[in-house]
Amino acid sequence: MSSVASAGIAHEAYLYADPSDLIGQMAVFVDEGLRAGERVLVVVTPAKADALRSALNGRPKGVTFVDSTTAGRNPGRVISIWRDWVGAHGHRGGVRGIGEPIWPGRTPSELTECHHHESLLNLAFGSGPSWRMLCPYDTAALPAETVQRARTTHPVVSDAAGPAASQAYTTDYGQVLRDRLSDAPVEREAEHLFEMADLPAIRRLVASLASRSEAEPRRRSDFVTAVNEVATNSIRHGGGAGRLTAWWTQDSLICQIDDRGYIDSPLIGRQRPSPGPGGGYGLWLVHQLCDLVQLRSDPTTGTVVRMHLNGGPS
């Protein structure tokens, strides 16, 4: 295991092919933290959480488990979880964590946003209390490209042989905003230009589309709220107008909003804004309400926000 950074996060990927090896390494990592008086947050899939609890002989005091498949369904939510944890415990004896944003079965779009999340952890926690995070990557089940990307987003990469500095690690955080989105399909459910007066019609349209989703009613309503929030932002900050495009995939309803505005902070929406003026709350809320959010922005071409509601058409 790597040593703790002098300030901020010590962010380490752990590559494994044998699940029992991973559970053993996680148990050692947690035990080291508890012996040092640290609080430990474990955000992993339920199967790994159960195996780790067994290896630790139960649920030790000082360890909190969170289901990554629920809390981290949208990777854009997860930095807020870690921010809350470090803020609550980082100055009172120290913290460490295990974070698993990537597991087999993630869609290509989800994987891209997971890589962005892993990169931005280094920016979000580049200063402040010193703490450690271990991120497991299953080399037997994940695509080779996914494992290779872990080397670009973690300054330290470990396996059963031990830790080593990653020569592929990069701090080009602006790439998160420049990364190209896949093209919208030619056949679409809707495409509308809108201004302020059109917002009620946009809400009705999205509600009508969401009503065909297999998602539960509360999540459909949340999705309409999210799209309305982004559309309102387009009017306020994106030149007074925007464009809504909507389409279905086999598994999701996707609504995309384009405008002429420019966002220069790759962390916007990914961490809970401080109370008071300053902005950013709307996009943070959108991340909480959607199953996936993809945000891209360029000073020349403008901003695109793509929102996903999981649950294909019924």
- Domains of the chain (ranges; CATH) run 9-173 (3.40.50.300), 183-310 (3.30.565.10)
Residue (of 59, 64, 63, 51) closest to 25 by Cα position: 51
What pLDDT, in 10s, does the model give residues 270-305?
998 877 665 678 999 999 999 999 999 999 999 999
What pLDDT, in 10s, does the model give residues 137-178?
999 999 999 999 999 999 999 998 899 999 999 999 999 999
Q: Please name the residues in contact with 148: beta carbons below 8 A apart, sequence gap of 6 or more.
A: 168
| Number of neighbouring beta carbons within 10 Å of residue 34 | 16
Segment 92-104 shows an average pLDDT of: 93
**Lookup result for tokens 């809390």:** 71
| β-strand partners of 309 | 253
Quick one: pLDDT at residue 230?
A: 98
Q: Is the pLDDT score of 257 beyond 80?
A: yes
Quick one: pLDDT at residue 56?
A: 93
Q: Outline where DSSP puts E strands in the chain.
A: 9-16, 39-44, 63-67, 95-99, 131-138, 156-159, 162-165, 190-194, 242-248, 252-259, 292-298, 302-310
Quick one: pLDDT at residue 270?
A: 95
Q: Is the pLDDT score of 4 beyond 50?
A: no
Strand bridging mode 63-67 / 39-44: parallel
**Mean of the per-residue pLDDT values of the chain:** 93
Segment 193-208 shows an average pLDDT of: 98
**Residue predicted with more confidence, 277 or 258:** 258
Quick one: pLDDT at residue 184?
A: 94
